[in-house]
Amino acid sequence: MEQQLLREDALLRGHFRLSSGLHSDTYVQCARFLRWPELAAPAAAELARQIKAAGLAPDLVVGPAMGGVVMGYELARQLGVPGIFTERDENGQMSLRRGFTIEPGQQIIIAEDVVTTGKSTNEVARLLTELGGKVLAVASLIDRTSGNAALNFPNFALLPVTAATYAPDDCPLCRAGVPVVKPGSRPEKAFS
């Protein structure tokens, strides 16, 4: 899978500002990979296989917008269950909109493209739990935490990616004068 990500310019090396505000030497742009159904379908099929092999039987897949929408849809299709997504409201909080609901006791898989710190995954999990759902696991293409995300449920990932991260005021890439790039979907104002 790593070679496919590299071919699609979905796995980048350089100096990047992440959505968290941290700097990193590695950036994963899964949208470039997921744009190809012939790549997305087998990746989601492998995650579905791992989920089933673990004895998990979800009722629903929830993909946080934006990165988890395509992954969530394809994983839901592979598992034969509905797929919905969360998105940020006007206050920046993850929420269910568009008439999506969670039924009490519903067994849920959270689908992500990349788990970077686990912060947004945990935010979605809290929302789903508050609405009466039960989060069984998160499934992602990439795990940037090397298995160290602070999650209270299993983390299925197809590719662990080890990447250095730095506080902006202690970044060796900044000190070396390497220009920082802000890829991704969140605008610059998210960092102020």
Residue 62 exposed, middle or buried by CB count within 10 Å (0-12, 13-18, 19+): buried
**Calpha distance 26→169 (Å, rounded):** 18
Residue type, 120: S
**Calpha distance 103→93 (Å, rounded):** 21
88 annotated to a ligand binding site: yes
119 annotated to a ligand binding site: yes
Q: Which two tokens stand for residue 60?
A: 């629903």
120 annotated to a ligand binding site: yes
Strands of 4-133 (E only): list them.
11-17, 23-28, 60-64, 83-88, 94-95, 107-115
DSSP letter (8 states) at residue 169? G
17 annotated to a ligand binding site: no
3-class DSSP state for residue 42? helix
115 annotated to a ligand binding site: yes
144 annotated to a ligand binding site: yes
178 annotated to a ligand binding site: no
189 annotated to a ligand binding site: no
State yes or no: cis peptide before 66, omega within 30 of 0.
yes
**Calpha distance 105→131 (Å, rounded):** 9
143 annotated to a ligand binding site: no
**Calpha distance 140→122 (Å, rounded):** 14
Annotated binding site for orotate: 116, 144
Q: Which residues are annotated as a binding site for 5-phospho-alpha-D-ribose 1-diphosphate?
A: 88, 112-120
Binding residues, as ranges, are 88, 112-120, 144
